[in-house]
Amino acid sequence: MAAPDPQPRPAPPSPEPRKSQDDDQAVLAALTKGNLEESWLSGEEWVYLRPGLPERLLRDLRRGRYRIQADLDLHGLRVEDARLAVASFLQDARCYHWTCVRIIHGKGMGSPGQIPILKRLVGHWLQRHQEVLAFTQARPMEGGGGALRILLGKHRK
């Protein structure tokens, strides 16, 4: 007597990215806790000029007077991966003596609460690098509110 055919198993449920959802929620909680600048949530333009530098550098950067020599696209990266990618990109910029680069961080439409998490974090990371002289929101044809134009100087040791 032949054994009965085994019943096909139901397909396993698709995995939920719980760790990534937890990471997103932790970053969102950190950004919305404490003394959060109002501009962070309003989507205003991120602008930075290293103290002591002339305002004309920022004005020229904003107007597109510096040619973008390289791009870094952070779409789809988790926070820690994005931080490492930015650090590596700035190291490459130093090696290649680039003066103006662009980082595309996205507008945050896919983030929890549609808060541009990477946009804010990238700005903070950039301010910590000595070679970053200034940055401003990219011009509309370069990504607008989803990207930053960054002016770089020589790295100081």
Mind listing the pLDDT tens digit of every residue in the chain (157 residues)? Answer: 566 666 777 777 666 666 655 655 555 555 444 433 333 333 467 789 999 999 999 999 999 999 999 999 998 888 999 999 999 999 999 999 999 999 999 886 666 666 677 888 898 899 999 999 999 999 988 888 889 999 999 755 5
Distance between CA atoms of 111 and 118, rounded to whole angstroms?
A: 9
Angle at which helix 117-127 crosses helix 18-32, to 10 degrees, equals 60
The reported pTM is 0.70
Tokens of 91: 């190291």
pLDDT given for residue 55 in this prediction? 93
pLDDT given for residue 120 in this prediction? 81
Nearest by Cα to 135 from 42, 45, 70: 45
pLDDT given for residue 10 in this prediction? 72
Nearest by Cα to 136 from 112, 107, 103: 103
Tokens of 7: 């019943």
Sign of CA dihedral 93, 95, 98, 99: positive
